[in-house]
Amino acid sequence: MKSLRRSPAADPTEDDDLLWEILLRLPPQPSSLPRASLVCKRWRRLVSDSVFFRRFQLHHRRNPPLLGLFDRCQCLPFVPALEAPNRVPPWRFSLQTEDDVGCPTSLGCRHGLVLLHLPKSLQVLVWDPFTGDQHRIALPPRFCAKGTMINGAVLRTTGHVHFQVVLVTADDGGSHRLAFACVYSSHTGRWGDLVSTPIPSEPEVHLDFLSPTVVNPQAAVLVGNSLHWLLFGCNFAGILDFDLDRHRLAVTQVPLDILAQGDDVAITRTEWGGLGFILLSDFSAHLWNREHDCNGVASWVLRRTIDLDKLLSLNLEEERDPLTIIGFAESSNVVLLWTGSLFMVQLESLQFKKLSETNMVACSPFESVYAASNSMP
């Protein structure tokens, strides 16, 4: 019987759909796609496609690299966090405005967008550093009063087409203390309804000065589908929680006896995606997690202590600036610290890096997927 000859199997790399899926899984570093584009004309055609790049961004949305950070208080200079060939030069993310907006304050970054407060014009500005696109939005009435301290967050909705802005503030109206939030949608071009929640009453404290309850200026941390900000008042500390699905506000108190043990605090996201905070005491960092027991009762649990002086090889005999937290990168789980120099510490691996000696008191970490070459989309 005459045997049948099999035809050679088709090369799977000749299938554009399969190659597309392979290239989507390249590391989300700025140099990945430009390097892939140099392999051959076919690869360049695929990775230069705007649809592919949007898919690439969405694929790595949960693990974008920390490209750098914006100084919140010095008109937004950009400090790169990566080394060459992934380093983004400071000039690449320079805000250009058509008129004098004074010195805008960054309220935070997320999904490749930066949210800025323009108090002079009673507006917020959503800025895309990659494209230069800017969207100015007038503040809702509750946030326009002189002296009102506001904070906020920006995030893209599914598909990277539209974005939302969430603004929060606290109102010390005598015994009826409330926190407020309002959401803007670029899809509708309007602010939604104002939502509020009571701030728990504080024990009576006799002080020579009035200490209002305020939303801390640190950037929000996204945990699950809720945004979280620190909330401080006279003999009170808590975490303001805004549920993005239900558009509801809530306040979670933090025991004052815990905070009394430290000098600085910031909200964090735990390694499994839960709510936590980091507390600095001299040169030690204490990591606390919000956990639930078998009956569903929540409590704060100390999970880890890090000796930062040993980790960062700090010479404590030298005269040094106090160690302070100036930012937290939620996707990378990286805390930004200042003590005469700027350091970044990854809280799981404890890998650290010295970024700069530029003086900085607060920053907005910028985590996003970006292609370094100007020729990329």
In a 10 Å sphere around its CB, with 0-12 CB exposed, 13-18 middle and 19+ buried, how is residue 83 labelled? Answer: exposed
Q: Which of 286, 283, 352 is nearest to 66 (CA)?
A: 352
Q: Tokens 């701030």 label which residue?
A: 199
Rounded Cα–Cα distance for residues 96 and 98 (Å): 7
For residue 31, report the phi and psi dihedrals to the nearest 5 degrees.
-90, -10
Give the pLDDT confidence of 120-141 residue by residue, as tens digits. Answer: 889 999 999 998 999 999 999 9
Give the pLDDT confidence of 67-117 residue by residue, as tens digits. Answer: 999 988 766 789 999 999 999 999 999 888 766 666 788 999 999 999 999
Sheet holding 342-346, edge to edge: 324-329, 334-338, 342-346, 352-356
For residue 12, report the phi and psi dihedrals to the nearest 5 degrees.
-60, -25
With 90 as the cut, is the pLDDT of residue 292 above it? no
Is residue 204 a contact partner of residue 92, using CB atoms and an 8 Å limit?
A: no
pTM: 0.89
Which domains occur in the chain, in start order? 13-60 (no CATH), 61-200+211-367 (2.120.10)
Give the pLDDT confidence of 272-285 residue by residue, as tens digits. Answer: 889 999 999 988 99
- Dihedral sign from CA coordinates of 249, 254, 256, 262: negative
Rounded Cα–Cα distance for residues 243 and 23 (Å): 35
End-to-end CA distance of the chain: 58
Helix residue ranges per DSSP H, the chain: 16-24, 32-36, 41-47, 50-59, 256-259, 308-311
> In the structure, what pLDDT confidence band is assigned to residue 29 with cuts at 50, 70 and 90?
very high
Is residue 317 a contact partner of residue 309, using CB atoms and an 8 Å limit?
A: no
Q: For residue 307, which amino acid is it?
A: D
Give the pLDDT confidence of 199-233 residue by residue, as tens digits. Answer: 886 554 443 444 678 889 899 999 999 999 999 87
With 50 as the cut, is the pLDDT of residue 7 above it? no
